[in-house]
């Protein structure tokens, strides 16, 4: 597919080097302060999600995510780790390929969803263990 010389192959990117075939190359993707904070939140929340998921499975709770549940059923913990690894690859690829603004939104949404999952898992485990009741959450 041919593109005009003034049009980027990757929408949202303002400038790039091109190789001899005219394909846009993105060698540099700077880690802004905002992205560093978002990556930190994502990584900490992901560790929390992994630990809480493993805790929940240990005490007898069922995985809520259909994809993860299926991977656990088919491949055990290896399937769980494969899903987590795939999610991180998807996240890195999205961050790398999107424009600065879109990458910020992408990372922020992933961070919010992961934090929500951690909060939900925490409440579920605490309820299961009888530490809190449903009325206490409301």
Give residue-wise pLDDT tens across range 48-75.
999 999 999 999 999 999 999 999 999 9
CA distances from 77 to 22, 65, 137 (A): 44, 14, 31
Q: Is residue 27 part of a domain?
A: no
Q: Answer whether residue 19 is part of any domain.
A: no
User: How many domains is the chain built from?
Assistant: 1
Contact between 117 and 109 under an 8 Å Cβ cutoff? The reply is no
Residues 2-27 pLDDT 10s: 444 444 445 445 544 544 555 554 55
Domain extent for 127: 32-137
How many CB atoms lie under 10 A from the CB of residue 16?
14
Q: Is residue 16 part of a domain?
A: no
Report which of 92, 81, 97 is spatially closest to residue 24, judged by C-alpha positions: 97
């Amino acid at each position: 597919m041919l593109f005009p010389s003034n049009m980027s192959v990757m929408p949202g990117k303002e400038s790039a080097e091109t190789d001899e075939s005219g394909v846009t190359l993105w060698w540099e993707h700077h880690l802004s302060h905002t992205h560093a904070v978002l990556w930190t939140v994502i990584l900490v929340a992901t560790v929390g999600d992994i630990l809480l998921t493993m805790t929940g499975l240990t005490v007898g709770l069922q995985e809520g995510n259909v994809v993860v549940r299926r991977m656990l059923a088919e491949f055990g913990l290896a399937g769980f780790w494969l899903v987590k690894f795939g999610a991180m690859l998807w996240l890195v690829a999205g961050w790398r390929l999107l424009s600065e603004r879109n990458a910020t939104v992408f990372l922020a949404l992933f961070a919010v969803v992961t934090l929500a999952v951690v909060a939900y898992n925490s409440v579920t485990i605490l309820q299961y263990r009888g530490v809190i009741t449903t009325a206490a959450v409301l």
